[in-house]
Amino acid sequence: MDTTIRSRSEQAERQTLSPYAVCAADSRGRRHPTDPCDIRTDFARDRDRILHCKSFRRLKHKTQVFLSPKGDHYRTRLTHTLEVSQIARTVARGLRLNEDLTEAIALGHDLGHTPFGHAGERALNEVCPAGFRHYLQSVRVVDFLEKDGRGLNLTYEVRNGIACHTKGVRAKTLEGQLVRYADRIAYINHDIEDAITAGILQENELPYDSVAVLGRGKNQRITTLVRSLLENSGARIWMGEEVYTAYQRLHQFMFDVVYTDPVAKKEESKAEQLIITLYKHFVSDPDALSPRYQQLADRWGLDRAVCDYLSGMTDDYAVQLFERLYVPQFWHGE
């Protein structure tokens, strides 16, 4: 009889989780079989692997909406990730889904995001022949790039949730489907708050028909959206029709007013050109890549290896590299 702490946790999951939840003991496993941990379930182990990896730490210096903001209170890709995780765990707990699986997916969902947010993603998608999508790159990070190419060797359920957290095919688990909603709830509300902080939006400019349903202020809106998920989800994750319609109106408003605002986006074309220029530089001169990325090029092709290199950069590192390659350095001799 297995009497480890992990086995007791697995037994507790079977006794307490919803029939729609995924128990860690029922995972479809890892790409490379490994001995189980005596203390943690497989999903808890995945969460810890993501939390301690280099790609997770780099998120603190990657753009969310405003490029390299100088104020202390704007979101970065890291703070966005933490807010997604908090919202997702709250809903998972209320629905009795697997919190460890939910948190692992949430913490890993943006590991493959580029510097300069979606501007960097658009640039790589434009120039790379095979295209570029940050959610697929996030899976590539955990499979092949982390730990010097060994990857994090995560479970199928976490990898599937990361790959399906945005558009297209729904995740196979309710935990993965939940993270997709939590991502939307987080970014629409913190982007509103950041836009107000930046002075490009006022709270009273938000569409009245959305505010009337969701509430005024970030806390009210998040509470309404979370409550709607809790009250309407069962065999699938879903919001009530009225709340979801109000969310969609608010989302469209943000795209029309904030996400295309010339103040918020005035530097994005420069960021895109910077990424495109760096991409072309390394594709035309593969020897300029480090040995690690040259090995990736041998295995996956040069275009993909260059995308791996650029997408892993922070905003500051990409700018510094561009300056080193293309901006003349002044002579400092005696």
* pLDDT exceeds 60 at position 283: yes
* pLDDT exceeds 70 at position 180: yes
* pLDDT exceeds 60 at position 334: no
Mean predicted lDDT score pLDDT of the chain: 93
Report pLDDT digits (tens) over 83-134: 999 999 999 999 999 999 999 999 999 999 999 999 999 999 999 999 999 9
pTM of the full predicted structure? 0.95
The domain 41-204+266-314: what is its CATH number? 1.10.3210.10
* pLDDT exceeds 90 at position 74: no
Residue with the larger pLDDT of the pair 22 and 255: 22
Mean pLDDT of 240-254: 96
Handedness of CA 141, 146, 150, 152 (dihedral sign): negative
**pLDDT for residue 262:** 76
Q: Is-contact 61 80, C-beta < 8 A?
A: no
**pLDDT for residue 12:** 97
Q: How many CB atoms lie within 10 A of CB 285?
A: 10
**Beta-carbon contacts of residue 17 (< 8 Å; ≥ 6 apart):** 23, 96, 97, 98
Structure tokens at 323: 């300056």
Phi (first) and psi of residue 30, to 5 degrees: -105, 160
Work out the pLDDT band at 167, boundaries 50, 70, 90.
confident
Mean pLDDT of 149-163: 97
Structure tokens at 218: 């970030």
* pLDDT exceeds 70 at position 66: no
**pLDDT for residue 266:** 74
Instruction: Answer left, alpha or beta for residue 202, where phi above 0 means left and psi between -120 and 50 means alpha.
Output: beta
Q: How many CB atoms lie within 10 A of CB 54?
A: 13
Distance set, CA 255 to CA 78, 128, 250 (Å): 22, 26, 9
Report pLDDT digits (tens) over 198-228: 888 999 999 999 999 999 999 999 999 999 9
Structure tokens at 39: 């203390």
**pLDDT for residue 251:** 95
SS3 breakdown of the chain: % helix, strand, coil, rounded to 5? 65, 0, 35
Work out the pLDDT band at 1, boundaries 50, 70, 90.
low
Nearest residue to 318 via CA among 175, 87, 111, 116: 116
Weakest mean pLDDT among 48-57, 64-73, 323-332: 64-73
Work out the pLDDT band at 333, boundaries 50, 70, 90.
low
Report pLDDT digits (tens) over 2-53: 789 999 999 999 999 999 999 999 999 999 999 999 999 999 999 999 999 9
Q: Is-contact 264 66, C-beta < 8 A?
A: yes
Q: What is the DSSP string of 139-181?
A: HHIIIIITTTTT----BHHHHHHHHTSSSSSPPSSHHHHHHHH
Work out the pLDDT band at 68, boundaries 50, 70, 90.
low
**pLDDT for residue 220:** 96
Q: What is the DSSP string of 39-66?
A: SS-HHHHHHHHHHTSHHHHHGGGSBSSS
Instruction: Answer left, alpha or beta for residue 147, where phi above 0 means left and psi between -120 and 50 means alpha.
Output: left
**pLDDT for residue 143:** 98
Rounded Cα gap, residues 28 and 47, in angstroms = 16
Q: Is-contact 165 105, C-beta < 8 A?
A: yes
Structure tokens at 290: 């480090």
* pLDDT exceeds 90 at position 158: yes
| 3-class secondary-structure state, position 30 | strand
Structure tokens at 316: 């500051």
Report pLDDT digits (tens) over 285-318: 999 999 999 999 999 999 999 999 999 999 999 9
Structure tokens at 182: 């939590």
Rounded Cα gap, residues 68 and 271, in angstroms = 11
**pLDDT for residue 72:** 63
Mean pLDDT of 60-73: 71
Q: Is-contact 190 204, C-beta < 8 A?
A: no
